[in-house]
Amino acid sequence: MTEAENKRSLASSRQTQAMDPCLAQAGVSVGFDQRLAPQDLAGSIAHARMLGATGLVSPEESRLMVEGLTRLAEETREGTFPWDPALEDVHMNLEKALTDRIGPAGAKLHTARSRNDQVALDERLYLRDVIGQVTKDLWDLRASLTAKAEAVGEAPMPGYTHLQRAQPILLAHHLLAYYQMLKRDAGRLRDLAARLTEMPLGSGALAGTGLPIRADWVAEELGFPELAANSLDAVASRDLLIEFLAFGAILMTHLSRFAEDLVLWCSTEFGLAELPDSLTTSSSMMPQKKNPDGAELIRGKAGRAIGNLVTLLTVVKGLPMSYNRDLQEDKEPLFDTVDTLALALPLATRLVEGLEFRLERLRLLADDPYTAATDLADHLVRRGEPFRVAHRQVGALVAHCWAKKIGLRDVEPEVLVSFCPKAEPQVLQGLTLEALLVARDKTPGGVAPRLVAERTRQAKAELAAEKERGRL
């Protein structure tokens, strides 16, 4: 048998004609799925031990398999393993190498398993490994936001709706809004981890196996508390990957929104913050430029994560039960999102840590001439005016002030009462920036300094508890 025929025999035993080169090229996945080598080898080692323990192979054959697979693990880890595209994928490359090195015993490794349940196992093991690192990076970012919120203390800033100045808030409150988003993201990741409990190996191609395996032994060695309840589902489903990609898309959307804030804050027009030179770039043409490229790249890469989710949803949506080769397309979107998060999360953390706020300008803009309008309307409500009437009256007063180019606190008492008959004449003088902030203490999520300080302490306590529970 020639080398080419030997390679073909590993992939199929039915075909009598050589594979068309176009099909062969389309089927090659080792260029990207070799990334699953650590998980594939871990699963194979556990499987080989089980085969020996159950008598499906001899103890000596099992020992040879485990030793050979362990050496392959070292080579793949060191980057010295010679991957061969002619063998299609990570599974066939490793099995062929094992058989070449230990002889006929290597050909018995695939006893009672299929590449279908093999890859399902690999992907679960891979997700489990990835979740640990992403959780740590996400914790670091949340911790940096909390530390920055604590550092800025009670510094005010303008709050925006429709990108128009709305009401004054605390800068810490704005930062902690992103902490809350990322906290939910961390919860989504924990939810996914809690579903990575079923071990699919033993499901075979789709119907299980008639050989006397002990899948429970393999599951115990690999740290799975359960066995797959349905062999068709085990090999055909990719919802765990989809869930991770959905998590990644939502997380990157949150990071993109924060990145957009940084771009705006660091612009000359806003002038609210500045990034250090080490986290910005210059222009190739304009020497005066200081561009927030890190934030822009995070914003741009969010599109990749969203696209990866759509890609896998589209691949899976039309597949009949059970395994189909379309599922080869699940890995590149997964790996790309993993890589995107591995870059974006630490970069976002560094951006937060390096961010320097211009607190005086933030305070100046927060003390906008018209941001007391809502509080004036609330004052009228407390005096018995229906809110819609109060809203209309204050709106008319603001229009008057705008035309006169004066602020609300510059309005004469008699003018105030002419627009708002139930207003106390001196009420506007009491609507200072500090008063507006302190007044927002009627709901737990308000911007009052007391509440924001309490939520900062709470965030620090949450992070410390997660660290203590070993969720990092």
Domain ranges of the chain: 3-111, 116-365, 373-430
For the chain, what is the HEC assignment? CCHHHHHHHHHCCCCCCCCCHHHHHHHCCHHHHHHHHHHHHHHHHHHHHHHHHHCCCCHHHHHHHHHHHHHHHHHHHHCCCCCCHHHCCHHHHHHHHHHHHHHHHHHHCCCCCCHHHHHHHHHHHHHHHHHHHHHHHHHHHHHHHHHHHHHHCCCEEEEEECCEEEEEEEHHHHHHHHHHHHHHHHHHHHHHHHHCCEECCCCCCCCCCCCCCCHHHHHHHHCCCEECCCHHHHHHCCHHHHHHHHHHHHHHHHHHHHHHHHHHHCCCCCCCEECCHHHCECCCCCCCCCECHHHHHHHHHHHHHHHHHHHHHHHHHCCCCCCCHHHHHHHHHHHHHHHHHHHHHHHHHHHHHHCEECHHHHHHHHCCCCCCHHHHHHHHHHCCCCHHHHHHHHHHHHHHHHHHCCCHHHCCHHHHHHHCCCCCCCHHHHCCHHHHHHCCCCCCCCCCHHHHHHHHHHHHHHHHHHHHCCCC
Residue 471 pLDDT: 66
Give the per-residue pLDDT at 6. 46
Q: State the CATH class of domain 116-365.
A: mainly alpha
Per-residue pLDDT of the chain (472 residues; tens, 9 = 90+): 344 444 544 445 667 788 888 988 898 999 999 999 999 999 999 999 999 999 999 999 999 999 999 999 999 999 999 999 999 999 999 999 999 999 999 999 999 999 999 999 999 999 999 999 999 999 999 999 999 999 999 999 999 999 999 999 999 999 999 999 999 999 999 999 999 999 999 999 999 999 999 999 999 999 999 999 999 999 999 999 999 999 999 999 999 999 999 999 999 999 999 999 999 888 788 877 889 999 999 999 999 999 999 999 999 999 999 999 999 999 999 999 999 999 999 999 999 999 999 999 999 999 999 999 999 999 999 999 999 999 999 999 999 999 999 999 999 999 999 999 999 999 999 999 999 999 999 888 999 999 999 999 999 999 999 999 886 6
Which is the catalytic residue, given 9, 58, 267, 283? 283
Confidence (pLDDT) at 2 = 41
Q: Which CATH superfamily is domain 373-430 in?
A: Fumarase/aspartase (C-terminal domain) (1.10.40.30)
Q: Does domain 3-111 have CATH number 3.10.180.10?
A: no
**Which residue among the candidates 12, 162, 278, 284 is catalytic per the annotation?**
162
| Catalytic residue list contains 47 | no
Is residue 283 among the annotated active site residues? Answer: yes
pLDDT at 94: 98
Left if phi > 0, otherwise alpha if psi is -120 to 50, otherwise beta: which for 55? left
The two domains 3-111 and 373-430 share their CATH topology (first three levels equal): no
Please tell me the predicted confidence (pLDDT) of residue 13.
Answer: 62
